[in-house]
Amino acid sequence: MNSKCPLYINGQFIETAQKQNIINPSTGKVIVEASLASLKELELALSAARKAFDHGPWPQFSLTERQEFIFRIAQGILDNAGLLAALETQNTGKPIKETTFMDIPSSAKTFEFMANNFIDYLGQEEVNVSSDTKAKLIREPLGVVVLIVPWNYPLLIACWKLASAIAAGNTVILKPSSLTPLTALELAKIIDQAGLPAGVVNVVNASGAKIGELLCADKRVDMISFTGSNETGKQILQYSSKNVKKMIMELGGKSASLIFNDVDLEVAVNSSLASIFLNQGQMCTAMSRIFVQEAIYDNFLSSFAEKASAIKLGLADSFETQMGPLISDAQRKKVIAYIEKAKAEGARIVGGGKIPENAELKNGYFFEPTVLVDVGAHSRIFKEEVFGPVVLIHKFSGLDEAAILANSVDFGLAACVWSKDLFLAQELAGRINAGTVWINTYGMFYNQLPYGGFKQSGFGKELGREGFLEYTRIKNVILDQSAEGKPLVNYWYGF
């Protein structure tokens, strides 16, 4: 790969004096040095995005012109799919099979979908208020949008946000996680080759602790779309309160999968493995609480634990690897601390729970898929997001208890219901306080459908028409057509 990883600001690639080592989680070795933004580069990005929106051509382009640019980005992602998949695997530790067949194609499809649909989403609506009064409801871009992207799906979530933001006519500052900036910086090259005007998209790799407040509080920013932890989300809300702006917050979850007696056991077990151990459990929607109805609980647990122990850990760049490393040593220590606390509170480990002894993996941040039982609803691991390959399995009796268990945490991002009784499943889905409920499947994200959570999982949507419209503002233009051009207000004072 290119040894230079510059920032992208105002249509220019900028190397900075300050650099950051980017680590391969599979090996613990440095991949490359990436440029880090200082306050100087942050100011350049803010000024460029503001100028490009207020005085540049992007908001004035016709919708079909804008559409063509977005199609070019989609094609650019596909043209560079192999490079992007390799970078994502090296930088995040997720298996190459996942990046090749899931993350990169899905990123391209997000831009393609938005290009095909955003013009229809922007259609004006006319309202006949009365015989004398008509109104037009017009969707406009918000202005400068800051997109803050997490380390678990660096390219895909960037594309979710970016496709909608620029299709709506906004200008953007994209801030990837400083742990995983490589695919975002490569995406900047694709955007540059697509010919977008200078300043429309700016990619700034920086320490959130150093520049977060300045970026989020700045009055030149009209909107912030953030995906990440609750702790950081709360800080961003505080920063942004200094100057009022639109917000999208996707803040994680503690999702529940509810498995009823009538399921095909093998399908439920295999699907449940994917629902927690994909991407090493580092997913906001990870089904980290699996509740199984009493009659099949023992068989489910036995099969699940056996198959979890057979998941092949390995270096992420091997197509034989089924589960790679965690993102960092710090994240692995966090996972271990949660497990030790759970054991102290009465939980039992029935599978995994250790750093693997395989010599090939010793320098990476690997951890075995871990299955816990006897986890009380009072314990921290029942309530808090671990963000690792750790699942608790618990039994339930019937529909009412299932609903109570699913809703017994502060998060409300997603849930799964597994049952052949579709009436029961849909009734339960209606009682679950979560933004997405999958019935007899898991993790299927469709560009046509909105995604986002409730409660402490945040607010606002990504994807679909609803997600796109989050990046617009609505203007109400009222036209009075009273007789002789004299509206009622003309007579108010009687002159």
How is residue 332 written in tokens?
């692995």
Q: How far apart are CA 58 and CA 35, in angstroms?
A: 27
**C-alpha to C-alpha distances, 248 to 202, 212, 471, nearest whole angstrom:** 19, 16, 9
DSSP string, 192-220: HHHTPPTTSEEE----HHHHHHHHHH-TT
DSSP string, 331-350: HHHHHHHHHHHHHHTT-EEE
Q: Where are the alpha helices (DSSP H) in 355-472?
A: 380-383, 399-406, 422-431, 464-469
Contact 301, 395 (CB under 8 A): no
Q: How far apart are CA 326 and CA 353, in angstroms?
A: 14
CB 272: neighbour CB atoms within 10 A?
25
DSSP type of residue 180 = S
Q: How far apart are CA 136 and CA 151, in angstroms?
A: 41
Residues 6+ apart with CB under 8 A from 228: 148, 150, 177, 250, 251, 252
Q: How far apart are CA 381 and CA 157, in angstroms?
A: 26
Residues 6+ apart with CB under 8 A from 381: 338, 339, 341, 342, 345, 347, 372, 375, 390, 392
Q: How far apart are CA 46 and CA 10, in angstroms?
A: 10
Best CA proximity match to 167, nearest among 45, 11, 62, 81 = 62
How many degrees, rounded to 5, is the angle at CA 220 between CA 219 and CA 221?
Answer: 90
CB 382: neighbour CB atoms within 10 A?
21
Residue 258's H or E segment, with its range, is strand 256-259
Q: How far apart are CA 474 and CA 121, in angstroms?
A: 12
Which residues are identified as catalytic?
Answer: 250, 284
